[in-house]
Amino acid sequence: MANNLNNLIPIIYMALDIIAREMYGFTMAAFRNSSADRVALGQTVNYPIVPAIVTGDIVPAPIPPDDGDMAVGNGTLTISKSKYAPIKWTGEEQRAVSQTGIMQNVIVQQFAQAIRALVNLIEVDLAATYIGASRAVGTAGAAPFGTAGDFTDFANSLQVLDDNGAPLTDRQLVLGSAAISNIRGKQSVLFKINEAGTEDLLRQGIIGRVEGFDIHTSAQIPIAVAKGTGAGYVVNFASGYPIGATAITVSTGSGTIIAGDTVQFTGDPNRYLATLSGTTLTLALPGLKKPLANATAITVGGNFTPNMFFVREAVHLLTRLPAMPDGGDDADDVTEITDPLSGLVFQVAMYRQYRRIRYEVGIAWGVKVVKPDFVGLLLG
């Protein structure tokens, strides 16, 4: 085995090449701020929130109006997790494996599994951001794209983003295995070369871009999310609510409406993500798309698989290297390895111990939906 990390770097990059070929859809689709800067666990990073601009009438005058002031707010994204994956060898273990001639192959696979474990943890956290979406389309309990030649699921997802004023570029769609299987198996227009214009799906299983969405798949999308127990609620506000309202007073119902639940108001085809606290039902931004009358009944959606569509900049992944104390710790060597495909930066540290050697592959990260308006769910 190598005596320092410089000699081990080629082996680590061989491991990165193995992992880079696996599909981690959210990691590839989210907006990534990945660098080698070390930060402490719990440290926050600010991002600006610019309010809407109020327009005015153009009226000729000696001087222009004295307006245009605005209070630019900010949100925070926290480095919430700092994790490592360990690899340890004793001298006797090294000797035994070296005699078989497979030492390098074993080490490559160990680093591949270490990186895989960490990327999967990041992917799980990104998949859990579905609770920050604004609205939902599709049918709970039924995988999307199940009808051959029907692109309604694409169209309805795009409509949510269009209606919410999302940019037309960098739109992402991350699907679970059932949805991606329906696309590959039933949407023949995508793999008929004369119609799709490419043989990528037919020959390689690559979907690429469809209807303006970059298509990804993720193994970490929950198969089914259990909804809350809420039922029987009605709107309880005499004057009703206008378009854009996000806090709705309710009454008469029972049970919970939890983060990630979808609700629908009688007479409004839109499905909103909402949570209930006391008698206040809180909708994600941008709030109501239709005016809401008093005494309107509320229906809570069923269990679902949360496939997600979003504009890249709406879902953030912040990664950093785990913090080291001033002057370092007991590590004999520390290096930084950048995954050439995803851009994620990993810290690799080597610790010489009594008759054994230990490696750590580490990364720190945080995730957040920073723009709910530009995120939606395609239910499955």
Annotate 121-168 with DSSP letters as a single string: HHHHHHHGGGGG-SEEEE-TTS-TT-STT--HHHHHHHHHHHHTT--S
The predicted pLDDT at position 112 comes to 86
Question: Hey, CA dihedral for 306, 311, 315, 317, is it positive or negative?
Answer: positive
Q: Which residue intervals of 166-261 are DSSP H helices?
A: 177-186, 193-196, 200-204
Q: What are phi and psi of 200, to 5 degrees?
A: -60, -45
Convert the pLDDT of each residue in 9-48 to its tens digit: 887 777 777 665 556 889 889 988 776 566 567 777 776 6
**64-69: average pLDDT:** 84
Quote the CA–CA distance of 277 and 280 in Å, as a whole number.
Answer: 5
Amino acid at 61: A
**What is the helix (H) or strand (E) element at residue 85, kind and residue range?**
strand 81-90
Decide which of 2.40.30, 2.60.40, 1.10.8, 3.40.50 is the CATH code for 234-302. 2.40.30
pTM for this prediction:
0.86
Instruction: Calculate what percentage of the chain has a pLDDT beyond 70.
Output: 88
In the chain, domain spans = 1-46+75-222+304-380, 234-302
> Which residue, among 236, 349, 347, 209, has the nearest Cα to 293 in the 3D structure?
236
Please give the mean pLDDT across all residues of the chain: 86
Prior bond to 242 cis, omega within 30?
no
E-state strands within 171-290: 171-175, 209-210, 213-217, 234-235, 247-251, 261-265, 271-277, 280-283
The predicted pLDDT at position 2 comes to 45
Convert the pLDDT of each residue in 226-260 to its tens digit: 999 999 999 999 999 999 999 999 999 999 999 99
pLDDT at 202 over 70: no
Annotate 336-369 with DSSP letters as a single string: EEE-TTT--EEEEEEEEETTEEEEEEEEEEEEEE
